[in-house]
Amino acid sequence: MALLGALRSSGGAALGEHGGTRPQHRRTTGIILLVVGALLFSLIIALPIIAIFARVLPTGTLFSTFARPIVLEALRLSALTTLCTLGLTLVLGTPIAYLLARHRFPGKAVIDSLIELPMVLPPAVAGIGLLMAFGRRGIVGEPLSALGITIGFTTVAVVLAEFFVAAPFYVRAARSAFDSVDRELETVSRTLGVSDWATFWRVTVPVAFPSLLGGAVMCWARALGEFGATIMFAGSFQGRTQTMPLAIYAAMESDLDAALVLSAILTLVSFAILVLLRISVARLGGRYA
């Protein structure tokens, strides 16, 4: 609204000066088009979100719906699997991000692209790939099932699917975070007698922290929203593989209220993530400026 006012007043002032000559007309038309475009854009983004809350809030069934098993189980499962995914990503993703940022080795460009591939791959392709690798008939899945270990259609499969699509978001951010840490800081730390390992934890990680945090949050958010690969590779079993997005899809026909409540929760959580991320990065960034 403030933007609209500013545009209006500047347009108005210009009109007054030049008395509405033809180029001035053109300028006013341009501004109107800009504003209309911006409004349309915002409307298309905002309307579905408003619609969810418009349906959830007035019914008054929010809390009773919240307590239904399908909702509670999905919440529990989403929290559990996304936290496992995040932990796995931090433990496995941090070393490879550091390696890619700091070392040159043959085949690096290939590994680089391979790691980012899941970010652009359609989730359905991820699902098929995971099935072919870890499914009952998969490359790894078959020998494992001979040992009595099944991955497909279990909670572990959910974590694997989330890891596959979400981990690259962290690795990419961590890689550029490590890249941007001044190497002289590490050199100085070493000449001060601090071991390479301690230098990593006392210098590299804290200096890279705002970007590492951003990458971790994006990874977690992506895992939370994972749908396509999960439903193909893990299925949609309540309490076992049915995370929030899957529960929304499952409840659509039978229990719209539950689907709406879950959607509202996911929307709120996602919005909170974005706001918190923006605030914390700004605050941490200011500290290091």
Partner 1 sequence: MLDVHVTKHFDGFTLDVSFTTHAAVTALMGPSGSGKSQTLRAVAGAMRPDRGRIALDGEPLFDAGAGIDVPPQAREVGYVPQHYALFPHLTVADNVAFGLKPRNHPDARARVTEMLETVGLTGLDRRRPHELSGGQQQRVALARALILNPRILLLDEPFAALDTQIRHSLRQELADLQQRLGFRALLVTHDPEDVVMAGECFLYENGRVIGEPTLLEPEPAPVSG
Helix 256-288 × helix 244-254 angle, to 10°: 150
The region of 30-38, 72-80, 199-207, 269-277 touching partner 1 under the rule CB under 8 A is 199-207
Cβ proximity to partner 1, 142 vs 182, nearer residue: 182
2 lies in the site for partner 1, by CB under 8 A: no
Q: How many CB atoms lie within 10 A of CB 33?
A: 10
Looking only at residues 201 through 260 of this chain, which bind partner 1 when binding is defined by CB under 8 A?
A: 202-203, 206-207, 209
Give dist(CA 272, CA 279) in Å, integer: 11
182 lies in the site for partner 1, by CB under 8 A: yes
Cβ proximity to partner 1, 22 vs 287, nearer residue: 287
Q: How far is the CB of 216 from partner 1 (least distance, A)?
A: 18
Q: How far is the CB of 199 from partner 1 (least distance, A)?
A: 9
The region of 30-38, 133-141, 192-200, 216-224 touching partner 1 under the rule CB under 8 A is 192-200
188 lies in the site for partner 1, by CB under 8 A: yes
Cβ proximity to partner 1, 22 vs 103, nearer residue: 103
- Residue of 200, 155, 164, 195 lying closest to 181 (CA atoms): 200
Give dist(CA 112, CA 107) in Å, integer: 9
Backbone φ, ψ for residue 5 (5° rounding)? -60, -45
Q: How far is the CB of 276 from partner 1 (least distance, A)?
A: 20
174 lies in the site for partner 1, by CB under 8 A: no
Give dist(CA 259, CA 52) in Å, integer: 10
Give dist(CA 63, CA 66) in Å, integer: 5
Give dist(CA 182, CA 207) in Å, integer: 9
| Residue 248, amino acid | I
* Residues forming the site for partner 1 (CB under 8 A): 182, 184-185, 187-195, 202-203, 206-207, 209, 287-289
